[in-house]
Structure 1
Amino acid sequence: MVRLIASVSALAVSLTLAAAPAQAEDSREILNTSYDIARELFAAVNPKFIDWWEAEQGETVSVKQSHGGSSTQARSIMQGLRADVVTFNQVTDVNVLAEAGLVADDWQAQYPNNASPYYSTTAFLVRKGNPKNIEGWDDLAADGVELVFPNPKTSGNGRYTYLAAWGYADRTFDGDEAQIEDFMKTFLGNVEVFDTGGRGATTTFVERGIGDVLITFESEVNNIRNEYGVDDYEVVVPPVSILAEFPVAVVEDYAERNGNLDLARGYLDYLYTVEAQRLLAGFNYRVNDQNVAAEFSDRFPQAELLRVEDIFGSWPQAMETHFSSGAKLDQLQRR
């Protein structure tokens, strides 16, 4: 296990108490550390979990949230942020915690669907009337198209965008490396702003009015459109995109020390219940419960979702080849 730093300063996280009734002083509280754009989701999930736990166990508990870029959150936990559970948007950010001895090595086998209770894909948000006629990935590399999405160096969301674009190019150019890299150079050259996380990218596009296309999770683009005006924005789901899993795990080392191991496991169990699956689908996430998926099928256009493992071999290979210092991403961005 890596040596844990005793104090944590200048953490790039925001801590907010989940909406819940006032708790007794001796009631237990868990900390869920999550990705940047999940604030509203877990603000809705947590009160439902609290009610479910009380009905199941007869105990009143509370939940605290921490949000930030998925990789930033993982580093914060390794530096001492005593999270009981993680609900991330990228497998590698859980794997680094497993390598540090904070999460079980077999964490993906502990819950169904590779410990991903819900999933999504990468989609586009465009302004009213879709003035640049954006329909797929090739349109994002056209002249005069300005893109906004999170920085792949700091955001799992951004890495999915990069990998989805590469996967499309790999399919389109039949694996021709030179043509793939030419496409990616143009695509990355059209990025107007690289924010550190998904919520920052949303702010840049919606509130600052920068860019023609916001690229983020399908769930996020639909939630933005619903919040900021269905008549002002349009959602484009490309016919070929990436499977974005949302892995969850108990931070066993901390949860046990916090006296919350059973509560932490129960929290993740709850995400697989029919009630939680409906709630997740209501926030425009795709779910694996077939009955719930059928109820919400009109929200999710058919798309071919490419697996990272099928295109890049594995997540560790993708990280080493594309996102390590001096790797493909850095090479492609050199002017």
Structure 2
Amino acid sequence: MKKWGVGFTLLLASTSVLAKDIQLLNVSYDPTRELYEQYNKAFSAHWKQETGDNVIIRQSHGGSGKQATSVINGIDADVVTLALAWDVDAIAERGRIDKAWIKRLPDNSAPYTSTIVFLVRKGNPKQIHDWNDLIKPGVSVITPNPKSSGGARWNYLAAWGYALHHNNNDQVKAQDFVKALYKNVEVLDSGARGSTNTFVERGSAMY
């Protein structure tokens, strides 16, 4: 019994020496905060079971374009998970990652997709159901700034696509629609997180 106890102690000591503490920084865009908080816990537990190493994953969040600029300017990221391939390409152009990054993983290195929805006030008092409702007088829109937020660029393209589809691909009419839409935007926050916080206090709809 004593011999078994000594052997067990030595095994634990040996394992603790071999185990490593690994710290990683994931630089991501605004809406992914809660997703990666959950995913990181699951991954860390999986990695611990597979290798014995302890992985601590730190997170940095902001508008996708701003995050790309931070990496270009020197923030020491181990992983980037941004909203647009354009932003990752900008990092690759500066030599921070391989230019062939998109071929490295399945599905063009895009592990998930999403869609665009409208969030309205309880009871939908402004009767907002589609894009065209967002340009009505008296409607106040909250959305991130497409100059800094990757998700906001998808929002912009979705609005543009809607306008083209409903105007027989008339570019001028599509441009007029998007102008009218952004004329109704009350606040252009730098990222989706900021827009969500703003919508708590003001606005008829957020997308």
Q: TM-score range by the shorter chain?
A: 0.7 to 0.9
For residue 189 of structure 1, report the CA deviation from its aligned partner.
0.5
Between the aligned residues of both structures, percent identity stands at: 47
Asked if 1:49 corresponds to 2:73, the answer is no
1:77 to 71, 87, 90: 71
What residue is the counterpart of 1:98 in the other structure? 92
Matches within 5 A, 1:1-335: 27-206=21-200, 209-215=201-207
What residue is the counterpart of 2:13 in the other structure? none
Q: In the alignment, residue 92 of structure 1 is paired with which amino acid?
A: W
Supply the distance in 2 between the matched residues of 1:122 and 1:137 (Cα, whole angstroms). Answer: 11
Supply the distance in 2 between the matched residues of 1:94 and 1:115 (Cα, whole angstroms). Answer: 11
Q: In the alignment, residue 114 of structure 1 is paired with which amino acid?
A: N
Supply the distance in 1 between the matched residues of 2:20 and 2:47 (Cα, whole angstroms). Answer: 16
- Could you tell me which runs of 5 or more consecutive residues in structure 1 were left unpaired when the two chains were aligned: 1-24, 216-335
- Compare CA radii of gyration and give the structure with the larger one: 2
The number of residues matched between the two structures is: 190
For residue 26 of structure 1, report the CA deviation from its aligned partner.
5.7
1:57-96: CA deviation from partner (whole Å, max 9, x where unpaired)? 2222211111111111111111110100011111111010
Structure with the higher helix share, 1 or 2: 2
- Could you tell me which runs of 5 or more consecutive residues in structure 2 were left unpaired when the two chains were aligned: 1-18
Supply the distance in 2 between the matched residues of 1:131 and 1:32 (Cα, whole angstroms). Answer: 40
Supply the distance in 1 between the matched residues of 2:110 and 2:130 (Cα, whole angstroms). Answer: 27
Q: Tell me the TM-score normalised to structure 1 length.
A: 0.55
Contact 2:144 2:192 in 1 (8 A): yes
Supply the distance in 2 between the matched residues of 1:36 and 1:146 (Cα, whole angstroms). Answer: 22
Supply the distance in 2 between the matched residues of 1:61 and 1:154 (Cα, whole angstroms). Answer: 31
Supply the distance in 1 between the matched residues of 2:132 and 2:126 (Cα, whole angstroms). Answer: 12
For residue 165 of structure 1, report the CA deviation from its aligned partner.
0.2
Supply the distance in 2 between the matched residues of 1:180 and 1:79 (Cα, whole angstroms). Answer: 36
For residue 49 of structure 1, report the CA deviation from its aligned partner.
0.5
